[in-house]
Structure formats: C-alpha cells, structure tokens
Chain A
Amino acid sequence: QVQLQESGPGLVKPSETLSLSCSVSGGSISDYYWTWIRQPPGKGLEWIGYIHYSGSTTYNPSLKSRLTISLDTSKNQFSLRLSSVTAADTAVYYCARTDMTIIRYGVDVWGPGTTVIVSS
C-alpha cells in the first residue's frame, strides 16, 4: 500500500526557509491531493495546504504569503517550503494524502511525521 516518508532538516534558524520533502512509495502520485499538516508541541493539528497531481495548489491563508508546495512526479515526491520562519513554526510536520471525491473525503494516508525546531 502507499507509504509516505518526510525528510529534511530538523533544525532551522529564525528568518530562514524551512524545506521538507515527502517521498511516496507503493503507489503513484497521480490523482489525490498531496497534503502538509503540522502539529505544534502539545497542540492540535493545523492544515498547511495541498497540491493536486495536476499541479494546482490550495494553501492555508494564514501561511500563504510564506508557503510553496510543489510536486515532482518523476521522483514521486512533493515538497514544502516555508519562508521567514519563527519559533511559532516549530512543529511536527506530516505529509499526507487527501482523497477528495464527490463521495469520499479524508486524509487517509499519513507519513510518520518529522520534527522541525526553529531556533538559533
């Protein structure tokens, strides 16, 4: 079955850019909405955004000015870039698959998550 795995630096300095990748294995990146969700320490889930395999993106308005999500179908990967980070961006970052059809919606496959700490 489809599996996801996040990768990227675990420590990022304030004002710099956070970059993460998500490798998709066991299935094609075609169809579906490839999603990023984060969870600050001890807090709830925050939806960051997603990219459809067609390339269209939808971002959380609260992050939109700093956010880029991209897709590399040749590598079966998608990526997150979040610029000008602050301590408030410290979180576990999950990559995930959203199935969104007329009859079904759900974030049905998740990566294990990767912790990113923003600190100098």
Chain B
Amino acid sequence: DIQMTQSPSSLSASVGDRVTMTCRASQGIGNSLAWYQQKPGKAPKFLIYATSTLESGVPSRFRGSGSGTDYTLTISSLQPDDFATYYCQQYYTAPPTFGGGTKVEIK
C-alpha cells in the first residue's frame, strides 16, 4: 500500500492567516490526490481532486498543488468555518489510502 504522511499533525492559526499543510506519499502518485475536510462528529467533506481541482461549491481560498510525492493544501485566508481536520487521499493505486490528518485549531 502507498503510505500517506501529513504534516504538521496540528497547527494553530488565526482568522485571516494563510495556512499551509503538506502530504507526502511513499511513492509517486501522479497527481492522483484528493483532500477532505472533517469537523468533529461529522462525516468528511470532499474538497479537491486531481491535486488542484476544486469540487463544486468549495471556496476559492482553498488551493491544492504538488506533484510526484509531495502535495500541499493552502488556505489563503483562514475563515471561522475552516477550523477542522484535513485529510489527503491518494487514489493512484488500490487501496486508496488516507493520510493521518492535519488539525487546524484556533490560536
């Protein structure tokens, strides 16, 4: 299985901050990467696929980038609704695997 490692595991930030989190794959995944947002007690929400394509309805402050083994999710100006845990998922090979998550907390 391809291992996905997210960093940091948590971060503290303020509303309006620019936030960046990374996801590293144990081997190249050819941009086959998705991102999800999960709030406590809720199911994840689909945000981004193919590394950088925003799902319909996702605000443009979310931006995905990367290639090869290294990928990034950036939130350009953190909003109160963005405090959550973010997971990456590779779908290059089965089984699709998730990273361990990055929790974005209020500073």
A residues with CB within 8 A of B = 44-47, 49, 58-62, 94, 96, 100, 103-108, 110-113
Contacts and interface: CB of A to CB of B under 8 A. Distances in A.
Interface of B: 1, 32, 34, 36, 42-46, 49-50, 53, 55, 87, 89, 91, 94-101
A46 B89 CA distance: 10
B95 A60 contact: yes
Given A44-B100, A45-B87, 8 more contacts: A44-B98, A45-B101, A47-B98, A59-B95, A94-B43, A103-B50, A107-B36, A113-B43
A45 B44 contact: yes
**Chain B interface SS verdict (over half):** loop
A112 B43 contact: yes
Given A104-B49, A105-B49, A47 B95 contact: yes
Nearest to A97: B46
A87 B44 CA distance: 24
20 contacts: A44-B100, A45-B36, A45-B101, A47-B89, A47-B95, A47-B96, A47-B98, A60-B95, A61-B1, A61-B95, A62-B1, A94-B43, A94-B44, A100-B91, A103-B50, A104-B50, A104-B53, A105-B32, A107-B36, A110-B44
